[in-house]
Amino acid sequence: MYSTQPAGPHHDNQGFQHDTGRPPSYNQVQGMYPAVSQWSPQPVDTRSTTVTQAVRRKEPKSGVNCKYVLCGLAAFVLIALVVGVLIWYFAFYQDTTGKSCQSGKDLSASQWCDGVKDCQRGEDESQCLRLYGTNFVLQSFSAASQTWRPVCAERWSDNYSRASCKQMGYSSTEYMSYTQTGAGSLGTGGYSSLKPGLESGGLIQSYLTDSQTCTSNNVVSLRCIDCGVSETGTSTRIVGGTPAVSGAWPWQVSLQYKQHFCGGTIISKDWILTAAHCFPEPSDPSTLSVYYGGILLSQMFTRASVQRIIVHEDYNTDTDANDVALLRLRSPLTFTQDVRPACLPNVGVNLNPERQAWTTGWGTLRSDGPSPNNLMQAEVTIYSRDRCNQPEILNQRVTETMICAGKLAGGVDSCQGDSGGPLVAKEGGVWWLAGDTSWGFGCALRNKPGVYGNVTYFTNWVYKQMQMRF
């Protein structure tokens, strides 16, 4: 997509508006941002949010003008106070109370993920299972050791698998299968093993106990959903891109209010992931339609209704941080060769920078240019955050909630109307959703790669929203 340099960064489209037609176009270890950490389960945040109209990014304000000596003294005193408070907090308060429920109730660290719901809303037991790596190894968080451990496959069954997937947020109708795989280095810290004589029916962690060994050395590999599968290879390559063929990107959807205004990605039968800035103001979900299963906008007749629009509670219109949203569909999709989900990134999946990825959408072919009828695709390079934040590129605008991808030489990029659509990368034989199209300087300009929401960073938030329906 070709363009001239605009005055400042902009979103790739204006977003959803009522009573209008098509919105007018306008101008972590150092890995993919951030590096995946061994996070501990956190409380679920159920606060409602109000999203305001997206605005242009503001430049940082200059510092306060004061005498050097007084400023230095004040800074020293302030730093000393902060350090003192932090030492007190972590040395005393943290050790004695562990974590707190949303209601304010204090729990010890050992009460999180112990199989007993001690918080009124159950947030202490909501983030206790996860999938690891391209083998989809099931891991459970150990309350005793405060570490993630692979689940030993001995005496495991489909019943436990279905219960685990439901607990993570997937519908039981999406369940695919489980297999056994070698533990490898994941087992060096011990395992989570089934207690003898128990049948599934409650929280999975209540049936697990810490074990230093797993007799078979095999652990559970769990596929909760048949994701990341494309029947058609990427033999052709959005500006600087080419038309996609049917079935190549079966997770791509078009969000429409009378006409296409944003893209999105199928992540399950009930959920679409898109960008927060597509909804710059609270919107009635009943007026929004999700079209799917095709590549030609003029011939997309299959649509789904939206039950709820969930915008990230920390989305910031000034910095564009946390530019992600979820759409909860009224009725589940039926998966076919042309309708399938992309995989949410598992912990440990290698989506590091300097790798190739693909971006797709029905956005304009150049800045303020015409929109295509055919879905377009382009191969881009994911760059490190440090490289993107160099002064001549994006000058410190890329935060940990973002990734940047494109071609520094220019000529290939997403553009206006692509917002919310997928950036996917293939690893271990499946396609992972690395980003959602967010903002950029023009389209396909030299040293101005596109910026995407960092789905790896958002994965825990996504699962929390998916779990809240159960």
Tally: H helices and E strands in the chain: 5, 23
| 66 vs 402: CA distance, rounded Å | 35
Residue 18 bears catalytic tag = no
Residue of 221, 289, 419, 438 marked active site: 419
Structure tokens at 241: 């891109």
Structure tokens at 111: 């009460």
Structure tokens at 463: 């699962």
Residue of 277, 338, 367, 414 marked active site: 277
E strands in 348-394: 355-361, 376-383
At 435, give phi and psi (nearest 5°): -155, 165
Contact between 309 and 220 under an 8 Å Cβ cutoff? The reply is no
What count of Cα atoms within 13 Å lies in the side-chain half-sphere of residue 14? 14
| 297 vs 300: CA distance, rounded Å | 5
Residue of 114, 323, 413, 418 marked active site: 323
Structure tokens at 8: 């400042």
H or E segment at 89?
none
DSSP letter (8 states) at residue 468: T
Residue 314 bears catalytic tag = no
- List helix spans (H) across 89-214: 94-97, 158-168
Residue 277 bears catalytic tag = yes
Q: State how far the alpha carbon of 457 is from the alpha carbons of 28, 151, 171, 434, 463, in Å.
A: 10, 24, 23, 9, 12
3 state SS of 396: coil
H or E segment at 113?
none
Structure tokens at 210: 């810490």
| Residue that is written with structure tokens 């917002």 in the block | 419
How many residues are present in the chain?
A: 470
Catalytic positions, written as ranges: 277, 323, 419
